[in-house]
């Protein structure tokens, strides 16, 4: 992990300078505004959904935006010719992304707690949010190394949402049988939603949580090892 | 005899989606303290070779020895020895010049004085401006500073004077010469023959992934030039020209009489320019 702390400090400095931190904060404020308008009667249903949106789709978008800035400025390449470990390079970007996910979750959760007295299992929430953000950071990297520009990334995200969100919607509407839920855990969207719901007091079988957690970890590690690592260098070196 | 910094032997590389090799079995050595130029037209394989030697491309065939040891066995600590000046600007545009340099500098054990380097390339006064506000020439000068941040032993420079006005190009070339004078080795890729003429001790011309010539610029000029002397003289109210064989010129009566009797305007030997050599030796096989 040679140079990890320097790289992480650089990532955090750039999150601020490229206004990614500020954009993330503004989006969080928007979620808080919408929650305020929804009011106490339904707020419990929406808080998990907003946290999910923030730590999944927003993470993919922000990771993509960050990488596109770097791709545009050729800085991905120049970092590869430093003595830094490649793993430290990737890890610094993941940790910066985890920070963004945690920051918005903490704001939304505290707002829900103090404004509407929503009951939250904080430790579970933070653990699951870390897992979900980690997996969606890996997905964000994966999407970005395969597309040419930001529009391509948006198209990829929309495609991804259709593929993984519809089965969950069909399940919620009763179109899919309850026995299908174990298979739905292999959708990052469904697994993430269920894990966040659990932290907000929804009853979820422990084995579904285990399957979801293990799956997200394995998916992330698979993407980092077999997609992000080889394609990152290729993306960085391509001019 | 100087130490070999790099020994490149039968180097081959093919891009993943390509049927043809971008680098087709090239071999050359780079010696300590020399400025070695790899020259050729766009797409000839210069940048690919540089990317292999800087370990950005690792899936190559053949062998590269760095100070006698296989390059593949070196860890990322190899980069402590290297300074790389890319063809395009490689900076964070929303950080200042100084912030950029401080960030990159912290990634190395050896650190040069950033402000001294910025001063040498004329950027000290602009150090606190965002790089996004820099002109292309300023960004290229900052690229050069970036390459020198870790007091490298070897500089890889790709089109280093690209986008610079003559005054700033001169500053960079003087710094490259100073780097060499301090014992540094430079691997230069360019298609600007003026830079080559001024800087390189030896050059290799690369065409379609193959090295077609490798020698000192002087040797190449002699090899590809004509052994003749061209004299322009003033006679009968106008400029006239005469050409003589270089061999035996000291005993050539006609030549000696001409320079004694006529008002000589210019005398040139028939050595060719590097521009002409470049065009001649890098002509595509299909056009040759």
Q: What are the pLDDT digits (tens) for A165-210? A: 888 888 877 788 888 888 888 899 999 999 999 999 999 999 999 9
Q: How is the beta sheet containing B69-70 ordered, strand by strand?
A: B23-31, B4-13, B61-66, B69-70
In this structure, are residues B137 and B168 in contact, taking their beta carbons and an 8 Å threshold?
yes
What span, in angstroms and rounded, lies between the C-alpha atoms of A83 and A78?
11
- Domain limits for position A43: 4-237
Let me know the angle formed at the C-alpha of B204 by B200 and B205, rounded to the nearest 5 degrees: 120
In this structure, are residues B27 and B211 in contact, taking their beta carbons and an 8 Å threshold?
yes
Q: What is the pLDDT of residue A9?
A: 96
What is A116-138 written as a DSSP string? H-----HHHHHHHHHHHHHHHHH
What are the chain A neighbours of B97 within 8 Å (beta carbons)? none
Q: What is the pLDDT of residue B43?
A: 86
What are the chain B neighbours of A74 within 8 Å (beta carbons)? 86, 88-90
Spell out, as residue ranges, where chain B has pLDDT lower than 70: 1, 284-288
Closest residue in A to B100 (Cα) is: A10
Closest residue in B to A4 (Cα) is: B107
Q: What is the pLDDT of residue B287?
A: 60
| Residue B124 forms contact with A (CB below 8 Å) | no
| Chain segment A41-60, per-residue pLDDT in tens | 888 889 999 999 999 988 99
Q: What is the pLDDT of residue A148?
A: 84
Please list, in sequence order, all residues whose beta carbon lies within 8 angstroms of the beta carbon of residue A150, skipping any fewer than 6 positions away. Answer: A64, A65, A68
Strand B23-31 to B4-13 pairing = antiparallel
What are the chain B neighbours of A14 within 8 Å (beta carbons)? 92, 94-95
Query: Mutate which of A73, A85, A89, A232 to disrupt the B interface (most B C-beta within 10 Å)?
Result: A73
| Residue B55 forms contact with A (CB below 8 Å) | yes
What are the chain B neighbours of A73 within 8 Å (beta carbons)? 89-93
In this structure, are residues A52 and A216 in contact, taking their beta carbons and an 8 Å threshold?
no
Q: What is the pLDDT of residue A233?
A: 86
Q: What is the pLDDT of residue A15?
A: 92
| Residue B238 forms contact with A (CB below 8 Å) | no
Closest residue in B to A72 (Cα) is: B90
Q: Across the interface, do B90 and A6 touch by the CB < 8 Å criterion?
A: no
A124 to each of A120, A199, A209, how far by Cα in Å?
Answer: 9, 6, 11
Closest CA to B57 of A70, A146, A80: A80
Q: In angstroms, what separates the C-alpha of B14 from chain A's closest C-alpha?
A: 14
Closest CA to A112 of A194, A38, A27: A38
What are the chain B neighbours of A13 within 8 Å (beta carbons)? 95, 99, 103
Q: B50's torsion region: left (phi>0), alpha (psi -120 to 50) or beta?
A: alpha
Q: What is the pLDDT of residue B2?
A: 79
Partner-chain residue, chosen from A6, A83, A233, that has the shortest CB–CB distance to B79: A83
Q: What is the pLDDT of residue B285?
A: 61
Q: What is the pLDDT of residue B191?
A: 81
Q: Which residues, in sequence order, are bridge partners of residue B263?
A: B234
Q: What is the pLDDT of residue A109?
A: 95
Q: Across the interface, do B55 and A81 touch by the CB < 8 Å criterion?
A: yes
In this structure, are residues B26 and B11 in contact, taking their beta carbons and an 8 Å threshold?
yes
Spell out, as residue ranges, where chain A has pLDDT lower than 70: 239
- Give exposure, B99-131, as e/b (b: 16+ Cβ within 10 Å): bbbbbbbbbbeeebebeebbebbebbebbeebb
Q: What is the pLDDT of residue B186?
A: 97
What are the chain A neighbours of B109 within 8 Å (beta carbons)? 83
Q: In angstroms, what separates the C-alpha of B100 from chain A's closest C-alpha?
A: 9
What span, in angstroms and rounded, lies between the C-alpha atoms of B200 and B197?
6
What span, in angstroms and rounded, lies between the C-alpha atoms of B136 and B129?
14
In this structure, are residues B164 and B87 in contact, taking their beta carbons and an 8 Å threshold?
no
What are the chain B neighbours of A2 within 8 Å (beta carbons)? 76
Please list, in sequence order, all residues whose beta carbon lies within 8 angstroms of the beta carbon of residue A42, skipping any fewer than 6 positions away. Answer: none
Domains: count for chain A:
1
CB pairs under 8 A between A and B: 70
């Amino acid at each position: 992990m040679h140079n990890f702390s320097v790289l992480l400090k650089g990532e955090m400095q750039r999150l601020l300078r490229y206004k990614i931190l500020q954009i993330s904060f503004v989006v969080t404020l928007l979620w808080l505004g919408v929650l305020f308008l929804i009011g106490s009667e339904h707020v419990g249903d929406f808080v998990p959904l907003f946290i999910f949106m923030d730590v999944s789709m927003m993470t993919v978008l922000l990771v993509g935006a960050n990488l596109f800035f770097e791709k545009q400025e050729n800085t991905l390449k120049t970092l590869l010719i430093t003595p830094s470990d490649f793993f430290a390079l990737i890890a610094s970007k993941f940790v910066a992304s985890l920070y963004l996910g945690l920051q918005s979750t903490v704001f939304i959760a505290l707002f829900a707690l103090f404004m509407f007295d929503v009951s939250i299992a904080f430790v579970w929430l933070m653990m699951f949010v870390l897992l979900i953000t980690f997996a969606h950071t890996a997905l964000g990297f994966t999407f970005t190394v395969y597309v040419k520009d930001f529009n391509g990334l948006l198209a990829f995200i929309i495609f991804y949402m259709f593929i993984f969100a519809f089965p969950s919607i069909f399940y919620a509407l009763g179109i899919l049988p309850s026995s299908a839920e174990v298979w739905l855990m292999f959708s990052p969207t469904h697994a993430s939603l269920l894990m966040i719901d659990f932290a907000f007091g929804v009853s979820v079988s422990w084995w579904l949580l285990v399957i979801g957690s293990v799956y997200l970890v394995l998916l992330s590690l698979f993407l980092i090892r077999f997609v992000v690592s080889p394609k990152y260098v290729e993306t960085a070196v391509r001019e | 005899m100087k130490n070999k910094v790099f020994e490149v032997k039968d180097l081959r590389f093919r891009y993943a989606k390509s049927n043809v090799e971008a680098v087709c079995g090239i071999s050359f050595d780079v010696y300590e303290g020399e400025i070695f130029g790899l020259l050729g037209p766009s797409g000839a394989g210069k940048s690919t070779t540089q990317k292999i030697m800087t370990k950005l491309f690792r899936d190559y065939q053949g062998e590269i020895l760095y100070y006698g040891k296989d390059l593949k066995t070196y860890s990322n600590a190899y980069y402590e020895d290297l300074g790389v000046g890319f063809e395009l600007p490689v900076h964070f545009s929303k950080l200042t010049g100084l912030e950029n340099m401080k960030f990159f500098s912290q990634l190395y054990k050896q650190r040069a004085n950033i402000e001294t380097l910025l001063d040498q390339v004329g950027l000290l006064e602009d150090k606190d401006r965002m790089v996004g506000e820099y002109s292309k020439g300023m960004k290229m000068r900052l690229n050069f500073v970036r390459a020198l941040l870790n007091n490298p032993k070897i500089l890889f420079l790709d089109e280093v004077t690209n986008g610079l006005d003559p005054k700033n190009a001169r500053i960079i070339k003087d710094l490259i010469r100073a780097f060499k004078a301090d014992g540094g080795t430079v691997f230069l890729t360019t298609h600007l023959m003026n830079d080559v003429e001024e800087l390189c001790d030896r050059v290799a011309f690369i065409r379609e992934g193959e090295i077609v010539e490798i020698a000192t610029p002087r040797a190449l000029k002699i090899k590809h030039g004509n052994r003749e002397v061209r004299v322009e003289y003033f006679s009968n109210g106008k400029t006239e020209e005469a050409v003589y064989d270089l061999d035996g010129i000291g005993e050539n009566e006609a030549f000696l009489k001409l320079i004694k009797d006529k008002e000589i305007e210019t005398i040139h030997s028939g050595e060719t320019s590097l521009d002409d050599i470049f065009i001649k030796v890098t002509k595509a096989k299909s056009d040759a």
